[in-house]
Structure 1
Amino acid sequence: MITVNFCGAELEEFIVLSCFLFDLTIISSQYSSILTLSAAYHNQGCYRDKDKILTFLSYQRPGIFFSAIKRMRFTTSVQNKIAALLVIASIISGISTYAAFTETPPFGNDPNTVIWLLNLDLVLALMLVALIARRIVGLWSGRKRGIAGSHLHVRLVYIFSILAAVPAIVMTIFSAYFFHFGVQTWFSERVQTAVNEAQAVAEAYLKEHTQVIRADTLAMAYDLGRQAHIFIANDEALDKVLKTQSILRNLSEAIVIDEGGRVYARSGLTFSLELENVPLHMLERASTGEVVVMTSASDDRVRALVKLENFVDRYLFVGRLIDPQVLSHLASTKKATEEYLALRDRYSGLQITVTMMFVVVGMLLLACAIWFGLMLARQLVSPITGLIDTADRVRAGDLSARVDEKARLQEFEYLAKAFNRMTKQIQEQQNQLLETNRKLDRRRHFTETVLTGVSSGVLGVDEHGIITVANSSAYNLLSDKNEEMIGKEIASVLPDILELLDIANDRPDKVTQGELILLNSSKDRRIYLVRIAIEDVGDEEAGAILTFDDITDLQSAQRKAAWADVARRIAHEIKNPLTPIQLSAERLKRKYLKQIESDADIFEECTDTIIRHVSDIGRMVNEFSSFARMPEPRLKRENVEKQIRESLFLHKQAHPQINFNVKQYEELFAQMDEQQFRQVLTNLVQNAVDSIEMRAKEKPDLVGEVNVRLARYDEEQLYIIISDNGLGFPVEEDKANLIEPYITHKPKGTGLGLAIVKKIMDDHNGRIILGAPSWLAEKNVELTLDGAVVVLLLPIDSE
């Protein structure tokens, strides 16, 4: 531990020098040099090394600081300029504070100047702290917002702040500790004992002289007082005795005076007593009988004043010469003792004051150090932040972004150049890819244009079974317009096609063809002709091109044409012998029924059977003829509700046990062939009647009911709903097959009724729907019957 010794009254300057050493040690890298010089200075106990220390501090360290500031490249922002000015002002203020404490011109030892400079230090420190706090808050805010480089910036600031704060705190503690134990030697028990003993010796010496002269004065005054009656009238005798007493008592001077200062007797060299006026308060004290002891104005003798007894207004004033240096040392000792005691009483306050000085100046320079750390961290993070921001721009697609290659550190410059070379290469490659994509887009657009004009549906499937291409016809044939097929697996869109795909993959050099039955968006059964061609890409896995053609209508037309030809041939071959057979049977019945005596009823029954079956065969032939030679409809504007009621009238008459109901919401008209439309209604209502009768055989108490509902579908179409409570449609049968020719589930049906209805509705630009479509719920249509439901759609004639 360094022991501090002081020469004379050096405490104040020692404190100042310690503070300044502490200030500069925080931001200096030469701690050992400063501490070595300061220890040498204090250990020698005098100021002979003071010039070296001051020279080192005043010239070496400020030079380093200002050169560092000169090298630091502050940004052009106002905040950084203010901070730079504050840092410079802080350093200047610290040096000025030290100069004021050490009485260095131009400040001198002016307390007001020192206080003003300390306040300035505090204000500068607080301003720097405010700027630092604002910068740190900005950093934390940027970190919360996720700004590029903010985490690294905060971490560097944290590290630099710790590096700056730890030495400052350690130096503050050790400086306070150093000051405490350095000054403690002044107030040690040995020093206090020496001061007290010196004060006691001085007081004893002065007290001894005071008591001796007091005793001599009292004895001399007693002797003179006993002979007062002699000396009152004889001044010469008094003068003679006074001289004798002065010589006997070794008094250098003696005089008898009154209160006015008149001299009645003197001895020896008494001119000084006559020339010096006795203070009035001394005379007042002496008049009370007190022996007043005092020193002369020149501090070379001790004097005493006492009032003479048995005299009227007489005072004895005597003096004795003493060594002036003794009195001077006594006064110095007393003054030093008083100052020492006062300093001891103020030690706690002084320690707090010095500690606060350490804290203020330390905080000032600590703020400077932290600001330098912030600037250094910013210089380190700024290139990284720029690199991250540029990388984000590149990631967003701006390949023209470049990093500033001018950096203070060569490593950052190399990194920036490498990054710029990389982005330039990526940009060139992207431009090449964009050009290639533009060519591919032009080819794809041409292909899509070609595919758009193709009536067949076309799908492109990759090696993983994902749909990559789909033309508009494919959407029309296979999916809803709003349902996206591209990107989906072919298995999820067309699961029934996987078998054909497996066959096609087994023979990639040939085109695979097959039929596929699907339900379209309207739940109608459709037949598609599928062709699959596998792409040839060598040994790698390849995709496939699928084409779809809806051949439902084509097959239906082919079947109808074939059945129409068959029906025409059958009708032609059968119709010719039917008439002779029927006429012959009627003639036999008419001519021979009355002549036959035995088994006449059997004869009649046989002829009736022939006639009945011939009629049935004739009716069947007529249906064949109607189906084979359906005439072109002659359209004209008709009231739809009127046609419905006229058709139902005949059925009501023929089937009174069945309830026929018609619901109409408005009067609607349509272009139609009256005879053909009645045939449509007749066929559908007859099917409903047959279904009710078949169910009535199973349920005798059944009350048959047929409801017909007419309403508007939209602005262009109307719909007719025919529902019954019969057996309904066969569950196991596809409803689309029911409209095919010669498909029936009735015992005596021909299978041509619904086919004829379908043909007539097609000729009228209408549709027939077997079963209740989903849009009936949207129209708030409630079907109360549990049998079959048939819906007809016709265009409305609004004229």
Structure 2
Amino acid sequence: MIDFLKKNIFIIILSSITLFIGFLTFLTFIDRSFIQLNQDNLQYLLILNIFLLVLLFTFIFFEIQKSIKNDIDRDGIKSNKKYITYFSLFTLIPSILISIFSLFLFSFALEKYFDKKVSTVVNNSYELAKSYVTEVRNKIEADIVLIAFDTNKSGKFLNNNDRDYLRFLKTQKLIRDVDEIHIIDDNKNLLFSSLENKTNYNPPLDEALDLVLDDDRPLKIINAPQNISAAIMRLQEFDNRFLYVVKYLDKDISKYLSESQEAINFYYTVEEKSTGIKISFAIIYIVIVTLLLFLSITIAIRFSSRFFRSINNLILASSAIGDGNLDTKVPEIKTDKDLEVLNKNFNSMISRLKNQQEKLIINEKHEAWESLARKLAHEIKNPLTPLQLTIDRIKDKYANQISSSDQNNFKENLKIINNQIKQIENLVNEFSDFARMPKPVLKDNNLIEILKENIDLLSEIDKSIKIDFLKNNEKIIFNCDREQIARVFFNLIKNSIESIQEKSKKNIEFIKKIKIEILYNNDHIKFILVDNGLGFDKIKDDIKKILNPYFTTKKNGTGLGLSIVNKIINDHNGKLDFFSVSDGAKTEIIFNLNGNRNSYSR
């Protein structure tokens, strides 16, 4: 999410500015903005809105185009563009239709808002509140005339007595249904009042008093902030006296009147600028819809690319496999869960296919070498017995006929021939063993026990060699052929001992050591053998050659020992690897336990 915001920060800022200007234009049209409502300002705002919209659309278009191009270039699959286009159209077409319908609906609703019936109701509500105020003002105007008449008539009986005036004014207040009656002078000083507490007296405005100084007619006063309707009138029978009558307006009616006036002004302002409001709303709506479309299309592109990236990887991997490259792997990228499982299963399938191919190649090689070894053993072994018998016959027949001086040479030569025949016989026997390699008889066996037996046996060859045996379990049960696995361990450990002994001839003082480790995991058993012998420096560029039959680095080796070991490991669903390490060699066997249900450890 943060990456998306950083990548599209300019579009986000531009969209915010466009929304702000659009909203400002809307407020200006309804005369609620700090910008003065006039033709020039509206024209500038509309031009600015159009410019920002075009700029926003341009940047969004290029950003979407760049996203599509980047995804296609990265994934290398043209069909992705087609599906991205489909996703975009599926998002774009309904949004455009909804936008058109929404704008039409808003325009229709705005027109209905200014319907004649609505305007009639608005006007009537205001006129109703206004008529109430007018009625109160007219009534107080009539009442003040009557009160003034009674006051003028009763003046001679009141004798400027406060108590008499208070009783008189209170009576008039009850009869005329008003709230306050005051008698004041031309300086607005209170002379007499119907109020018990005269401190609550609020004098009239100066302008109102000035208007009635030389006029006998009453003056109506309305004070909206104080919610009162009042009237003031000069008393003709008195010098410098004025009658001031106050009637309290209903607070709600007064508030409704003020609000109605504001609402009517706003209503007709909006009606007058309805076209501009529609344009402003359309701009705001288009910006919001455009942003949502951009977000939707971006998500569609990301989803499409994420999906087709995995499909593309599978296509490329399958093409490479079709060309014979079994080292190909599908990148296990983060994607849909089902696709992740598909990628994982595909890689697992390729690994198994590669292992099976390697096993097949090894088996074919072994079959070819076994056939060759069988023929060689047969062809070589047949003449060996007659040769041996002939030598014995020559020895018996000519031993006494040779002079004593040549006797030693004669016997020595016969001995050399005899030894060579025995070496050939040993070689033939190894050929026979290699050719007659039996199929493994699988039974549950403890690998720890087999290893210990071979270590104990071989440690007697050279007690100066330190052999460390590490294990993570006391017992590792493996379904295998005991004799064949024992032969594997024996052969590998013996090779390490011989390599160390050969190295010690050049450097007597170095510490001889072998490290053997066997580890059990849920899906495999790993055997690791590390020695500080000669290593594989001579063949480090192609270590796997030593697994080929008849390939050997030993002076008197046949090159069949490791081939037999590799065949046994292969038959036990395992893999043999050699590594050149500093100051020695490392041998590693991994027995795959998939399908070997009888294997376990304790």
Query: What TM-score bracket applies, with the shorter chain setting the length?
Result: 0.3 to 0.5
Instruction: Give the TM-score taking structure 1 as reference length.
Output: 0.31
Structure of higher RCO (CA pairs closer than 8 Å, 6+ residues apart): 2
TM-score by structure 2 length?
A: 0.39
Larger radius of gyration: 1
